[in-house]
Amino acid sequence: MIFESTAVGPLEVNCYIVGCKQSLEGIVVDPGGDLDKISAVVKRHGLKILTIINTHGHFDHLGGNRQALTAFGARLLIHLDDAPMLGKSAEVARMYGIPGENSPEADAYLTDGMEILVGTHRLKVLHTPGHTQGGCCLYFEDEHKVITGDTLFADSIGRTDLPGGSHDQLLNSIRTKLFTMPDNVIAYPGHGPQTTIGHEKRCNPYF
């Protein structure tokens, strides 16, 4: 499997480019900006991007949606509960003094347990509300990898003081959806370095 990340946008979001070496079909997760950096990875691997996925609806994770959708001719997926944020991302970005643009509407919606094929690889959508109500993680079980968005970080968790956030809900999502995975699963968060599920079970101060 092709699996690369590049930090994009003013808040250094980890954008993930995932592809199949056999079919060269691929997806882009959280294109927060800097389309040139994303396109360079896609081009280097010769991928055809079929789908763009937003792990949640915060502006820093979807700020590059419009440009990426246009460049790749892909479809857009996000959880229904966060879909209203797509049309408000420019307004929210301006509140933080950051230029931005609204995202196009989603073509379909992520649901808990939904499976998405990336060539010969399969990812499972895990709905993990708490950081936002529509937050989702993407689990590549056969590859022992999970993209956690802003749900779980290395030695930390997503903030819950923004609209739609819930501390108790987030802790429950992590315990029931992520900490039930094998310890050797590598977690790839929306910001910062990767970690493992085992490390977070043992060392994350929030637990």
Tell me the whole-structure pTM to 2 decimals: 0.97
Distance (Å, whole) CA 174 – CA 127 = 10
**Structure confidence by residue, pLDDT tens digits, 169-188:** 999 999 999 999 999 999 99
- Mean pLDDT, residues 138-154 taken together: 98
Q: 139 CB contacts (<8 Å, ≥6 apart)?
A: 123, 124, 125, 126, 145, 146, 181, 185
**Structure confidence by residue, pLDDT tens digits, 79-107:** 999 999 999 999 999 988 998 889 999 99
- Mean pLDDT, residues 130-150 taken together: 98
Domains and CATH numbers, the chain: 2-203 (3.60.15.10)
Model pLDDT, residue 100: 85
C-beta of residue 115 within 8 angstroms of C-beta of residue 124:
yes
**Structure confidence by residue, pLDDT tens digits, 46-87:** 999 999 999 999 999 999 999 999 999 999 999 999 999 999
- The rounded Cα 28 to chain-centroid distance in angstroms is 9
Model pLDDT, residue 127: 98
